[in-house]
Chains A and B, each alone.
Chain A
């Protein structure tokens, strides 16, 4: 019994240490976001402490900023089509990786996952070169193809992970009952991976909405929202960016909740 006490103390000390560490990490991650939000309501042009007063001025300015509104529209357009395209390519790719064995499969796998680790700038300039060479004018559409390529790895990893967890017996049963591969996919596989597809789609949408490195090289005259914010930032820091940022944080929060609810695997 006496030997246990120092252990208990050590354990208690370690727990306190861990808890302090976690608190510090949370502060590091979240204080900056609160700073961003707080200064979007501060009635001074400069972002300095102490804050001077409360205002909605910066939000009001946003509503009348036509360039910004156009950029938001462009971002929705790009993110929607990029997500659809990347799902149309990514889901089949995940199925191929899961189901088939063929020579060169490991190269196929590595290539399709490459954009996750490959800096966007390489995807951006290599596709820029190709579009220029083929005589494609740069536009929001070239951005869409760029995003769909860059996001492929995200979709494939998520859907593939879900496929791996499905029991093989389900499909075998479908085959035994005479279902064609197509029927067994639609009736058996698809319902089981649906939440993974929705999750991957939401994540792709957010990542595309936020993307800069690929967009930077592939866009023509039209700006997406991050490109617009980026060009504003180059001119300096203003509370208007904080106001846009606060709205983005809020929307992201809503999307995270949607994603959590949508991808939660139904409990039996």
Chain B
């Protein structure tokens, strides 16, 4: 009895999370794996074990195209976020001399995470639209003379919006990685006669790679699975995988195909996470 009472807190501490993971993660994932092998049979679907849904995803041009488009958009968003985030984080860590300014600027980039994600997508819809703020502004200052529809409902709008939404996820890990680099390392390389570019290229950049990898992972995975921003600003060629999944569980009522698509997404994310894990570990070994 006493033994049970002494071990109860420990058992709860381990038991609750394990039970939660089993019930709300492993079991649901198991169910969609099972569903992904089922057959759609009007009006619902029947148990089966066949790979038809997966074959459809990778051979039907309709789905393959969406898959490739999603890859393209997520890669573009990651690259755009990186190009904005890295110089910014670099400036904060190595160039910004005022600690207060550094804190403020860092907070300024992270703060939008606390402001509704939906709003941040909506704002760009109101700005980029044919009747939107940007168009009417350009007309009123005389740069264009009639509304242009080149801004909204295309892949450009999607990349801008998703970059705007997910850039904090690129800044945070890069900043953390740069902060860990001892300043005397680049001083040492300068003493050894390396120019600022060479010492950046050979010392700073390699040491910050784990942060870059983490940033790419987060930004890529989050864009890869988004369906709200594409819906709001993407237009006709803006369907991403997540939109197609949502349709399968809504109007199209094809749960097996939707589940298979979700599994594909899960596998892509898991692959990227373990690749970046490996990179981070390598980076750590190299750093020591």
Residues of A within 8 A of B (CB): 14-15, 18, 21-22, 25-26, 28-30, 32-33, 35-36, 39, 46-50, 88-90, 92-93, 95-96, 100, 108, 110-112, 114-123, 125-130, 133, 145, 148-149, 152, 180-182, 185, 203, 206, 210, 212-213, 216-217, 226, 229-230, 233, 237, 241-242, 245, 248-249, 252-253, 255-256, 259-260
Contacts of A118 in B (CB 8 A): 221, 225, 266, 269
Q: Which chain A residue shows the least CB distance to B255? A: A129
Comparing B51-59, B177-185, B201-209, B226-234, the segment that makes contact with chain A is: B226-234
In the bound complex, what is the Cα–Cα distance between A26 and B84 (angstroms)?
11
A49 contact from B18, B88, B136, B217, Cβ within 8 A: B136
**Which residue of A15, A30, A95 contacts B13 across the interface (Cβ within 8 Å)?**
A95
- Give chain B's interface residue range (CB within 8 Å of chain A): 35 or more
A-B contacts at CB below 8 angstroms, number? 213
Is B151 engaged at the interface, CB distance under 8 Å to the other chain? Answer: no
Leading 3 A-B pairs by shortest Cβ distance = A119-B225, A126-B28, A93-B17
Chain B positions within 8 Å of A, measured between CB atoms, are: 6, 9-10, 12-14, 16-18, 20-21, 24-29, 31-32, 35, 84, 87-88, 91, 95, 105, 107-109, 111-112, 114-120, 122-127, 129, 131-133, 135-137, 139-140, 164, 167, 217-218, 221-222, 224-228, 232, 242, 245-246, 249, 255, 258-259, 262, 265-266, 269-270, 272-273
Q: Of A33, A92, A115, which is within 8 A of B16 by CB?
A: A92
Nearest chain-A residue to B266 (Cβ)? A122
B124–A32 touching, CB < 8 Å: yes
Query: How far, in Å, is B273 (CB) from chain A's closest CB?
Result: 6
Chain B, residue nearest A15 (CB): B95
Question: Least Cβ distance of B108 to chain A in Å?
Answer: 6
CB-CB under 8 A from B25, the residues of chain A are 111, 114-115, 149
Residues in B whose Cβ lies below 8 Å from that of A46: 131
Residues of B within 8 A of A49 (CB): 133, 136-137, 139-140
Q: What are the residues of chain B within 8 A of A18 when measuring CB–CB? A: 87, 91, 95
**A residues near B137, Cβ cutoff 8 Å:** 49
Q: Measured between alpha carbons, how far is A217 from B250 in the docked complex, in Å? A: 9
Instruction: Report chain B residues within 8 Å CB of A125.
Output: 32, 245, 249, 258-259, 262
A182 neighbours in B (Cβ, 8 Å): 9
B114 and A129 form a contact (CB under 8 A): no
The CA-CA distance from A258 to B79 in the complex, in Å, is: 33
Identify the interface centre among A15, A50, A108, A212: most chain B CB within 10 Å of its CB: A212
- Which B residue's beta carbon lies closest to that of A97? B17
Which one, A29, A114, A121, A253, contacts B227 given CB within 8 A? A121
Q: How far does the alpha carbon of A33 sit from the alpha carbon of B12 in the complex, in Å?
A: 45
Determine the residue in chain A with the shortest Cβ distance to B12.
A92
A71 nearest CB across to chain B (Å): 13
Complex Cα–Cα for A253 and B167 (A): 19
Structural contact, A248 and B115, CB atoms closer than 8 A: yes
CB contacts (< 8 Å) of B115 on chain A: these are 33, 248-249, 252
> How far, in angstroms, from A249 to B101 measured CA to CA in the complex?
22
Tell me the smallest distance from the CB of B131 to a CB of chain A, in Å.
6
B127 touches A32 (CB 8 A): yes
Q: B13 contacts which chain A residues (CB < 8 A)?
A: 92, 95-96
* Given A22-B91, A35-B123, A129-B35: A117 in contact with B9 (beta carbons within 8 A): no
Provided the pairs A89-B20, A119-B221 are in contact, do residues A39 and B84 lie with their beta carbons within 8 angstroms? no
Query: Are B117 and A210 in contact (CB-based, < 8 A)?
Result: yes
Q: Which chain A residues lie closer than 8 Å to B273 at the CB level?
A: 110, 114, 117
- Asked if A112 and B221 sit within 8 Å, CB to CB, the answer is no
Task: Compute how far the CA of A80 lies from the CA of B222 in the bound complex, rounded to whole angstroms.
Answer: 25
Q: Across the interface, do A121 and B246 meet the contact criterion of CB distance under 8 Å?
A: yes
A112 lies within 8 A of B17 (CB): yes
Complex CA gap A210/B273 in Å reads 25
Once A35-B123, A125-B262 are accepted as A-B contacts, the answer to whether A226 and B116 lie under 8 Å apart by CB is: yes
Q: A32-B164, A47-B132 are in contact. Are A21 and B118 (CB under 8 A)?
A: no
Chain B residues within an 8 Å CB radius of A28: 84, 164
Given contacts A48-B132, A119-B221, A126-B31, contact A21 B125 (CB under 8 A): no
Tell me if B262 and A92 are in contact (CB < 8 A): no
Closest chain-B Cβ to A53's Cβ sits at a distance in Å of: 16
Contact partners of A108 in chain B: CB under 8 A: 17-18, 21
The reply to whether B133 and A230 form a contact with Cβ atoms under 8 Å apart is no
With the chains together, A130 CA to B28 CA distance in Å? 5
Q: Are A181 and B9 in contact (CB under 8 A)?
A: yes
Q: Which of A14, A117, A130 has the largest count of B CB atoms less than 10 A from its CB?
A: A117
Separation of A36 and B278 alpha carbons in the complex (Å): 42
- Roughly how many angstroms separate A206 CA and B26 CA in the complex, as a whole number? 26
- Nearest chain A CB to B49 CB, angstrom units: 17
Q: Is the CB of A119 within 8 A of B222?
A: yes
The residues of A that contact B35 with a CB separation of less than 8 Å are 129
**A120 lies within 8 A of B225 (CB):** yes
In the bound complex, what is the Cα–Cα distance between A129 and B38 (angstroms)? 13
A122–B269 Cα distance when bound, in Å, is: 11
Q: Which residues of A contact B259 (CB under 8 A)?
A: 125, 129
